[in-house]
Amino acid sequence: MKIALNVTTALGLALAAGATFAPDANAQQVLKIAHILPAGDPRDLGARKLEELIEADDTCDLDVQVYPSGQLGMFNDINEGVQFGSIEMSVMPASYIVGTEPLFGVFDLPFFWPADADKLNELQHGPAMEKLGATMANHNMVLLDVWRTGYKQWTANRPLKALPDYDGLVARVMPSPVLAEQQKALGLTPVTMPFPETYSALQSGAIDAQENPNPTSWNMKFHEVQSHLTMTNHGTLDQVILVNKPFWDGLSDECRTAIEAAMPSANELTFSETMKQEDEAMADFAKAGLTVVELTEEERNALRDAILPTVRQFYVETNGEEGEAIVGAFEAEMED
């Protein structure tokens, strides 16, 4: 209290004397990168790679600071921080952007995206994604990149190979209306909850199932409280890299170039580490006695045909002509 009082008093005296205060023009700009995953997660390693490469670039003087594990808040806090400028950059699943920009729900369409990782990467850096990314300017943000972090699988205490297997189960869902519609189409009851609470909810039986890439399920130790992993490859959980627009626009050309040049290496590292952890996860699942269920092509196609048209229609009806244009643009690129 005494220090605060003295500072306040000094400030008042200075103002009374006609002093002016201005930011130090020579102060180094700070680029804070926030995410909620623990240190060492592939997404964290990608952020660290950005830090390394940007700070090594002699043309750009930025102090890059990575904040993992929700140190700057959870998803909503980080998203609002980037939107309003208290955080410069974020790494987060596209599903958490839907509350800000509903068109990003296209990321959550089930059985929609290419199963080949290279084709997916090409699609995520093509004209349709550029069109989608441009909508973030309406929210004071810029989409810089999309990082691949694996295909989603289901865990439960029974195999989930066909539509009747899902009927009546309660499943955790991220706050995306498209994902909620997907779960309803499967016959699930979707429940939104903070991700850190998912383990205890599965353990207690409050929920029955959850969907995530295997490295995420492994890092969260869901194999300790679930008996079956069904390899559906039904969706992606890819990360969008967003930056505050005024911050981005205020950077020098050299710094924007340095950040853009660092993105491909960070993207590739994130993906390679994800694949490495996929192998480690599957080995640990086997040791833990988790039953891994593989789908035949016919079984996977049957699930796709049962739910994709319904969920696609929901996305278009929710987003109107813009939604139809976005999903149509991605479909056109996939057909080429």
Superfamily of domain 151-236+280-335 in CATH is Bacterial extracellular solute-binding protein, family 7 (3.40.190.170)
pLDDT tens-digit series, residues 122-173: 999 999 999 999 999 999 999 999 999 999 999 999 999 999 999 999 999 9
What DSSP character marks residue 38? Answer: P
For the cut 60, the answer to whether the pLDDT of residue 22 exceeds it is no
Q: Token match 């959550």: residue?
A: 108
pTM for the whole structure: 0.89
Query: What pLDDT is stored for residue 16 in this prediction?
Result: 39
Q: In whole angstroms, give the CA distance from residue 232 to residue 161.
A: 8
Q: Cα 226 to chain center, whole Å?
A: 24
Name 78's Cβ contacts closer than 8 Å, sequence gap at least 6: 34, 35, 36, 70, 72, 87, 90, 92
Indicate the pairing of strand 141-147 with strand 239-244. Answer: antiparallel
Query: What pLDDT is stored for residue 194 in this prediction?
Result: 87
Q: Could you tell me the end-to-end alpha-carbon distance of the chain, in angstroms, rounded to an integer?
A: 67
Q: Comparing C-alpha atoms, which of 276, 156, 292 is closest to residue 225?
A: 156
Superfamily of domain 26-101+117-149+238-277 in CATH is Bacterial extracellular solute-binding protein, family 7 (3.40.190.170)
Dihedral sign from CA coordinates of 217, 219, 223, 229: positive
For the cut 90, the answer to whether the pLDDT of residue 226 exceeds it is yes
For the cut 50, the answer to whether the pLDDT of residue 10 exceeds it is no
For the cut 70, the answer to whether the pLDDT of residue 185 exceeds it is yes
Outline which parts of the chain fall under CATH 3.40.190.170: 26-101+117-149+238-277, 151-236+280-335
Query: What pLDDT is stored for residue 219 in this prediction?
Result: 87
- pLDDT above 90: percentage of residues in the chain: 88
Which two structure tokens, joined as six digits, stand for 172?
């955790």
- Structure-derived torsion over alpha carbons of residues 154, 194, 101, 137, reported in degrees to the nearest 10: -120
Give residue 26's pLDDT band: very low, low, confident or very high (50, 70, 90).
low
For the cut 70, the answer to whether the pLDDT of residue 15 exceeds it is no
Query: What pLDDT is stored for residue 262 in this prediction?
Result: 98
Query: What pLDDT is stored for residue 23 in this prediction?
Result: 42
